[in-house]
């Protein structure tokens, strides 16, 4: 948790003033029993009502000043804790955004959501309580013991035994419960994963009539989490009764010895009451300290989980500061003149995903020239998407070189590299807002004319015009109010609006009918800009007119060539083509 305290730097004043005002409140609280001594020994014993009244007013004054100090401390502590939490969330979110697909795959979305929300909130509560009670409670405990010794040394000896016993109990329970709370948070990750999958896949669950099975799975996970929480709760719950037993035992000893000392004339009745008051203050503060420790234990466990994310290094390293494609490109001067027209090249590229036992891509080599359309086809899991994910550096090749415009992609600043590329993923992802809002993701300063042009090329203009509001038509979260084909066309328009040098369509027309798919490809070919297009598809019809087709089979290139060449020379391509066309009764 200490490493995260850097986010409190902007709140130095608050982190000093909050404990300071709490210490002032504690100081006034420690004076109250001394006033009680005077009321009992002088006011009540001497039947001096005026003195009792004056001392009563003094007690009220001390209480009011303490209340003001407490409210002020609460304000500064809350301000610091909330500010700390906000900065931590911003920094954590920015770090998550810097992680590559590899780290996101390993960590998991549900875990990241838990750490961004539940874990950060726990740490915020911990910071708040630390600022308010971390100094106040020990100060009251030590201060009450010191004040007790100023009243009577022999009677106060009880405090020297009681306080160490209480510390053993409190810190012992803390050490036992801390690792258990970490397990509880991991269990919460699991529940969140189950919940997220069920909510996002609700239609699939119902389509296969798996409601009962999913409810059973959730209940089982929830039951395990509940058992774990109850086990940790029982351990933490021991703190209050054990501390009460110790404190009340000490009060009994204190009253017994105090009664004897009053009888012998060593101390007064008021001083015995003051000693009991100080012991009660210690009890109250240790209960607060116990609750503080439980919260702080949770906060430490959560802080360590957050720190784990910060310590996860991005697998994709950005180019050195000040690096640019032009500077990097100077190394390519010795290349042949024809290479200047190479948009993308792969040279003996291999890719192994994290924790994978074998390569997903092996010795991939090809060149894509500017203005060409490259088709990539193959069976499920053959590595089609893996190839195109290497171009914008969503993953980094584990061996070999991927170049864009003759420059190794690792030498580009990420922003510069990705500005050249328009990417349309397999799964169409749209954001809540309007059609205009979603298109502006592609280009922030896009004009209305550019938007309609992109919609026209992507074959989305027709259905956008029919919607109420046109560009201002509402898009639900995830595009739930649109059909699969409409979502895909909008995501293609979002990629086209930035006028990229390289356009990657990763199986992004799977929901389109053959006619719309054909019109889309024709419109892209007729664009004024000379762009290089990669079309990843399982449909032979979508890529058969490409300038070059790469056939993938189990992570390796099975063939490269035109449609006609591959039909003659590539058995894998011919098998795919025949299975799709002859089955439908189409001519070869």
| 570-586 pLDDT tens trace | 889 999 888 887 654 44
β-sheet with 399-404: strand ranges across: 361-369, 342-351, 399-404, 407-408
CATH 1.20.1560.10 domain residues, the chain? 100-310
Residue 386 in this model has a pLDDT that exceeds 70: yes
H or E element in which residue 21 lies: helix 12-38
pLDDT at 321: 52
Q: How confident is the model at residue 266 (pLDDT cuts 50, 70, 90)?
A: confident
pLDDT-derived band of residue 337, with 50, 70 and 90 as boundaries? very low
Q: How far apart are CA 151 and CA 272, in angstroms?
A: 9
pLDDT at 586: 44
pLDDT at 587: 41
Residue 530 has what pLDDT?
82
Query: Which of these ranges, 135-144, 166-175, 350-359, 404-413, has the smallest mean pLDDT?
Result: 166-175
Q: Which helix (H) or strand (E) holds 65?
A: helix 49-98
Best-predicted range by mean pLDDT (186-200, 236-250, 525-539): 525-539
Tell me: pLDDT of 1 over 70: no
Strand 373-378 and strand 548-553: pairing? parallel
pLDDT at 504: 92
In the predicted structure, residue 187 carries a pLDDT above the cut 70 = yes
Q: Mean pLDDT over residues 72-85, rounded?
A: 92
Counting beta carbons within 10 angstroms of the beta carbon of residue 267, is it exposed (0 to 12), middle (13 to 18) or buried (19 or more)? buried
Predicted pLDDT at 332: 45
Q: Whole-number mean pLDDT of the chain?
A: 84
Beta bridge partners of 342: 369
The tens digit of pLDDT for each residue in 516-570 reads 888 888 888 888 778 899 999 888 888 888 899 999 998 899 999 999 999 988 8
Q: Mean pLDDT over residues 477-502, rounded?
A: 88
Residue pLDDT, tens place only, 224-239: 888 888 888 888 788 7
- 199 pLDDT tier (thresholds 50, 70, 90): confident
Give the torsion sign (CA, 353, 359, 363, 369): negative
Query: Which pLDDT score is estimated for 582?
Result: 66
Q: Which CATH number fits domain 100-310: 3.20.130.10, 2.130.10.10, 3.40.50.2000, 1.20.1560.10?
A: 1.20.1560.10
Give percent of the chain with pLDDT exceeding 70: 95
- CA separation for the pair 146, 490 (Å, rounded): 73
| Predicted confidence (pLDDT) at residue 444 exceeds the cutoff of 80 | yes
Q: Is the pLDDT of residue 101 over 70?
A: yes
CATH, domain 429-499, list 3.50.50.60, 3.40.50.620, 3.40.50.720, 3.40.50.300? 3.40.50.300
Distance between CA atoms of residues 309 and 103, nearest Å: 10
Q: Where in the chain is the domain with CATH 3.40.50.300?
A: 429-499
Segment 160-185, tens digit of pLDDT: 888 788 778 877 877 787 778 778 87
Let me know: does 131 contact 70? Beta carbons within 8 Å. Answer: no
Q: Of 122, 123, 133, nearest to 289 (Cα)?
A: 133
């Amino acid at each position: 948790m200490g490493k995260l305290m850097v986010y409190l730097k902007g709140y130095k004043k608050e982190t000093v003033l909050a404990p300071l005002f709490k210490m002032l409140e504690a100081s006034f609280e420690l004076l109250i029993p001394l006033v009680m001594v005077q009321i009992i020994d002088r006011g009540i014993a001497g039947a001096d009502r005026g003195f009792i009244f004056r001392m009563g007013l003094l007690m009220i004054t001390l209480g009011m000043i303490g209340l003001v100090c407490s409210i002020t401390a609460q304000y500064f502590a809350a301000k610091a804790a909330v500010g700390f939490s906000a900065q931590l969330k911003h920094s954590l979110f920015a770090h998550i955004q810097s992680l590559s697909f590899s780290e996101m795959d390993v960590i998991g979305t549900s875990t990241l959501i838990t750490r961004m929300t539940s874990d950060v909130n726990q740490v915020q509560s911990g910071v708040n309580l630390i600022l308010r009670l971390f100094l106040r409670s020990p100060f009251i405990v030590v201060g009450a013991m010191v004040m007790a010794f100023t009243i009577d040394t022999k009677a106060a000896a009880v405090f020297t035994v009681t306080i160490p016993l209480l510390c053993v109990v409190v810190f012992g329970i803390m050490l036992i419960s801390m690792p258990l709370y970490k397990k509880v948070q991991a269990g919460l990750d699991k529940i969140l994963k189950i919940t997220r999958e069920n909510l996002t896949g609700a239609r699939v669950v119902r389509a296969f009539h798996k409601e009962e099975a999913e409810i059973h799975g959730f209940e089982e996970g929830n039951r395990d989490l509940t058992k774990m929480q109850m086990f940790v709760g029982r351990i933490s719950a021991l703190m209050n009764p054990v501390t009460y037993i110790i404190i009340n035992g000490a009060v009994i000893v204190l009253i017994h010895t105090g009664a004897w000392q009053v009888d012998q004339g060593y101390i007064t009745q008021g001083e015995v009451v003051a000693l009991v008051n100080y012991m009660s203050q210690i009890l109250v503060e240790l209960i607060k300290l116990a609750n503080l420790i439980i919260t702080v234990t949770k906060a430490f466990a959560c802080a360590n989980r957050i720190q784990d994310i910060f310590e996860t290094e991005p697998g994709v390293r950005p180019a050195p500061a000040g690096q640019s494609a032009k500077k990097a490109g100077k190394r390519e001067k010795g290349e042949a003149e024809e290479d200047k027209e190479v948009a993308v090249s792969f040279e003996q590229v291999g890719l192994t995903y994290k924790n994978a036992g074998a390569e997903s891509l092996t010795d991939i080599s090809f060149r894509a020239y500017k203005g060409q359309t490259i088709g990539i086809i193959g069976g499920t899991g053959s590595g089609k998407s893996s190839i195109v994910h290497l171009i914008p550096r969503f993953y980094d090749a584990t061996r070999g070189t991927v170049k864009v415009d003759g420059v190794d992609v690792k030498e580009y600043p990420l922003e510069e590299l990705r500005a050249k590329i328009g990417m349309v993923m397999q799964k169409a992802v749209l954001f809540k807002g309007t059609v205009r809002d979603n298109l502006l993701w592609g280009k922030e300063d896009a004009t209305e004319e550019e938007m309609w042009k992109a919609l026209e090329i992507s074959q989305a203009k027709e259905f956008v015009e029919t919607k109420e509001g046109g560009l201002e038509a509402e898009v639900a979260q995830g595009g739930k109010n649109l059909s699969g084909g409409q979502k895909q066309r909008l995501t293609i328009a979002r990629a086209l609006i930035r006028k990229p040098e390289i356009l990657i369509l990763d199986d992004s027309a799977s929901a389109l009918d053959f006619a719309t798919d054909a019109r889309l490809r024709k419109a892209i070919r007729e664009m004024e800009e000379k762009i290089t297009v990669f079309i990843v598809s399982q449909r032979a019809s979508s890529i058969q007119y490409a300038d070059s087709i790469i056939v993938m089979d189990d992570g390796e290139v099975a063939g490269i060539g035109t449609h006609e060449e591959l039909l003659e020379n590539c058995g894998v391509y011919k098998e795919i083509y025949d299975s799709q066309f002859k089955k439908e009764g189409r001519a070869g």
